Each structure stands twice: as structure tokens, then as C-alpha cells.
Amino acid sequence: MSHPERAELDARIATWMRESDWCEDEERFEELALALFAYQFENCPPYARFCRARDATPAKVRLAGWRDIPRVPTGAFKEMALRCFPEARTVKTFRTSGTSTAKRGELHLDRLDLYEASLLATIRRFLFPDLDQGERMLVRVLAPSPAEAPDSSLSHMFGCTVDQLGAAGSGYDMAAGKLMARALMERLAEAQRADRPVALCGTAFAFVHLLESGGARAHACALPAGSRVMETGGFKGRAGERTRDELYAAIEQMLGIPPDRIVNQYGMTELGSQFYDSNLQTPDGPRRKLEPPWARVRIIDPESGRDLAPGEIGMIAIHDLANVGSVAAIQTADLGRLCAEGGFEALGREPGAEARGCSVAVDAMLGPAPARGSGSAPARRSGPAPARGSGSA
């Protein structure tokens, strides 16, 4: 890394990601967030102009605190390359899902190790909290492999999981856009016979496809204790015709994995970190989304821009120190609320205007082009597409 300031930032953040003891160290977060802002302000010209227009410079923000760092809307990732390094140094670009004509959001990376350290530390903690160091588990993925979908951040995440945490027999059950339901169910039946717990990972829509597949329905099984499901994707309250509760009940019926062993992940292409349901990590507490200590989630009042108290509904804002090479402060258009016990709840994007008028937003009228930075749901309705959108609750 040629930029000494950047190298030091990477090292300090990577150190935090490697620590097994996750504690909310506000002072450490503040210090790193301010240093990262100074770096991104200096090296990402459009972001610097955006900040100056808001009268926010590193010197001013240092006095006010990290919460005053200007947040970039997720939609901006569709409009411009938000990177702090020359294009030639790009080693990976992840893209949001979307139609062939719609613009897609892009996250450019100049190194993958930090990105992967973040995702692995988080998935290990929230999906595999019971695995000892070095222990592996059978992982089946209802999404294409990273080789087949190289620009999908979701496939990349699943790829890292299979590589680093998957036991023999782990792999992908989707290819050429098709879920191979029968083959998957045969593998699961084999796992059942061998009493091998399984981790099944995929989008909510991929699970809907699995549940609706005739071949799969005919091979319902009861997976061994210790099995689990991780689902993610643009739910917006419903996947196909199912609510999330209905989906979980159907998964339990078909695979024998109860809802308290099913974890939802909230993530988006524009972020280096992901957020998981708490139920495997802290099974005794209420289900809520938890973040790693190098990321902070705030709920913002769209009218005033102020932070909202637990229980109040507002926009989800994320400050993610894993986004070193792009912009760390992100404003989503997703709704959520903080939980009194810590963590947050993601509520998606409920329709607002449609019920009251006979007009309709231009984007909705012009067809499937994704609205408000959301690339996920429209594409996923037609099938279990693997790419992640901007915000998927």
C-alpha cells in the first residue's frame, strides 16, 4: 500500500476485526472514524465536494464528533465511482442487482483482505457462534458460486464462508440461474442420514423457490440438531406471497429447522460489513439485528436529520469502518428502529404515497428500474437472483 496513512488505517481496523472480544469501544471508534473521514475527504474528490457543500471538513468534524460526518446516500453509488484510490488499483468491483438498462450501484475495492476479514468475523460470530476455532461445518449455498457471479457481493460472501468455514461436501446449489432443488434435497437427506448438521445460506427468494419446488416438497426432511439457515434479500415485508413468518414456518416444515435457528442478514453491496439477527448468538434475548463493533447503526429522522430514540421509526444510517477505500458514512432509504436492548430492527421500505393518491412516482411508472437505490427486490421477484441490492431487510 503506497499511501502510509491508508496503510496505518487498514492495519488498525484489521486488528479490531481480528479481536475475538467484541466490546463497544466508543473512543476507539471515534478516533478511527475521524481518521478515516480525513483520509476519505482527502482522497475521494466528489465526497470532499459533497462535504464542503455541507460545511463539513475534517477539522470541523473533529470538534463535533463522528456523527457529524456527512453520509452519502446509497443511490450515489449508482451515479459515480466513490473510491479513494486510482481506478487502476481496483482489484474487485461488486455491483447491485438490477435490470440491464438500469444503473447499478458499485463498490470498488483495492484490497479484499479487509473486506473478507470483516465478513468472516461477523458471519462466524452470528451464524456459527458454536463452532470452535478451526472447526468447520457442512455449508450449502442457494446462490451461484463466486466464479459464476463474480460481481455479486453476496456470492463472494458465501464463497468466503464455504472456503473458510465449510466442511467437506460444502458448495453451491444454484447454477446458470437455476436452483438445483432435487440435488440439494438429496444432499440434505444424506446429511440427515449421517447426522451432520447443515448451514443453508441463500436469499429469501431462493428459499421460496426451494419450498415451491415439487421435487423438494417430495423430499422433506428433518435436518440434524445444530442445523441452521441464513437468509437475506429484499423482503419488503413479503417474499413472493409469503410473509417472513410464513417463510420460516415453511422452512421448518420442509427442513426441520425451527425459526429460532433461522438468521436474517441485513446487508448491501455498498457496505463492507453485514448485520445479523441475534438469535443464534444471544438466544435468550429478543431477536434484533446486531452490528460488529467497527460499524455503527443510527436511526435518523428524515424531517430533521436528528438521531431518533429507540422505538422510533426513521431512516437507517450506517457508519462502516470496513469501507476504507470508498466512503464509510452511508445513508440508506430503508426504515428501521433501534431496540432498547441494543441493536436494531430493519423494516424495509413501506409504500408511502400510493395509498393516498392516484399519481405514482415516475420510477414506478417507467417499469422495473429500481427506485431509491433499491436494486434488490425487482430483480429477485423473478427468481433467486444472487446480487445484493442497496438495503435488504
Q: Which is nearer to other proteins, 114 or 297 (CB)?
A: 297
Q: Which is nearer to other proteins, 340 or 360 (CB)?
A: 360
Quote the least distance from Cβ 249 to other proteins, whole Å.
19
Provide the angle, in degrees to the nearest 10, between the axes of the packed helices 113-127 and 153-165: 70
Quote the least distance from Cβ 81 to other proteins, whole Å.
9
Which range, of 48-56, 155-163, 202-210, 262-270, touches other proteins by CB under 8 A?
48-56
Q: Which is nearer to other proteins, 286 or 305 (CB)?
A: 305
Quote the least distance from Cβ 325 to other proteins, whole Å.
17
Quote the least distance from Cβ 270 to other proteins, whole Å.
13
Q: Which is nearer to other proteins, 189 or 313 (CB)?
A: 313
Q: Which is nearer to other proteins, 63 or 355 (CB)?
A: 355
Closest CA to 207 of 279, 255, 260: 255
Contact pick of 46, 215, 240, 342 for other proteins (by CB under 8 A): 46
Residue 353, interface with other proteins (CB under 8 A)? Answer: yes
Quote the least distance from Cβ 367 to other proteins, whole Å.
9
Quote the least distance from Cβ 58 to other proteins, whole Å.
16
- Draw the binding track, 273-302, toward other proteins (x: CB under 8 A; -: no contact): -----------------------------x
Quote the least distance from Cβ 44 to other proteins, whole Å.
10
Residue 351, interface with other proteins (CB under 8 A)? Answer: yes
- Draw the binding track, 70-109, toward other proteins (x: CB under 8 A; -: no contact): -xxxxxx--xx-----------------------------
What is the binding site for other proteins (CB under 8 A)?
A: 46-50, 53-54, 71-76, 79-80, 302-305, 313-315, 331-335, 349-366, 371-373
